[in-house]
Amino acid sequence: MARTVPPALAITGAVMSMTIPVQAAETTVSPPVASRRIIYPAARLPSLRLPNGERQTVRSLLDVRQPMRFGSYVWDDRGVPPGPVWMRVDLSLQTISVFRAGHEIGSAVILYGADRKPTPPGVYPILARARHHRSNLYDAPMPYMLRLTRDGIAIHASNVRAGAATHGCIGVPPEFARLLFAQARRGDRVAIVGAPPA
């Protein structure tokens, strides 16, 4: 299944259409997808609107030209300067994007909450981090956990596969989770937007 981010939803201030095809894959983990970078001119930097109305400036995006499958991800922070880190989770596209200093450095296909325990939209600071964590509600491992809410919603490593869901958390491929964990700090913000596909 291929999904396209409408320009008004994805980026404001620039004409852009970003296609992120998501295809069902077997349960094996896919290697990182090759990428290039789309760099915006300094005089015309676009911005992403967050659920709280705030805007985040975007300096560059990863240019992913091949389909991303469940379990695959892109990570390329070469040449990206240090700076604030934030994440954008798009439930309608089943993707997460990681930004540092305004540059997208990573993207992955995600799992999100099932109907009875949906992933809540909003903007959340990372409250806690743990490399090795086990859910006390579901007695399940949550490696590379980044807690977003006091009731247990977090980003963590998962077996990202077609047909799977979480209890509200955002599941990401394990190697992507390791890379994200190395970047993210307490207080970094995560914007969760969109509604899950019907």
Residue 161 placed within a domain: yes
DSSP secondary structure letter of residue 121: P
Number of structural domains the chain divides into: 1
pLDDT tens string 107-147 = 999 999 987 888 999 999 999 998 887 776 666 777 899 99
What's the predicted TM-score (pTM) here? 0.81
Is the distance from CB of 143 to CB of 181 less than 8 angstroms? no
156 part of the active site = yes
Residue recorded with tokens 């990182």: 32
Q: d(Cα 168, Cα 122) in Å, to the nearest integer?
A: 13
- 120 to each of 47, 105, 111, 151, 152, how far by Cα in Å? 23, 24, 13, 11, 12
Residues whose CB falls within 8 Å of the CB of residue 79, separated by 6 or more in sequence, listed in order: none
pLDDT value at position 168? Answer: 83
Task: Note the pLDDT of residue 139.
Answer: 63
CATH code of 27's domain: 2.40.440.10
Segment among 12-16, 34-38, 89-93, 144-148 with least mean pLDDT = 12-16
Reported as a single tens digit per residue, the pLDDT across 56-84 is 999 999 998 888 989 999 999 999 999 99
**Alpha carbons 119 and 49: distance in angstroms, whole number:** 19
Is residue 198 situated within a structural domain? no
Domain that holds residue 137: 2-193
In a domain, 187, yes or no: yes
Alpha-carbon distance of 18 to 14, in angstroms, equals: 12
Q: What angle do CA 181, 182, 188 make, to 5 degrees?
A: 65
The DSSP bridge partners found for residue 125 are: 189
Amino acid identity of 111?
Answer: L
Is 123 a domain residue? yes
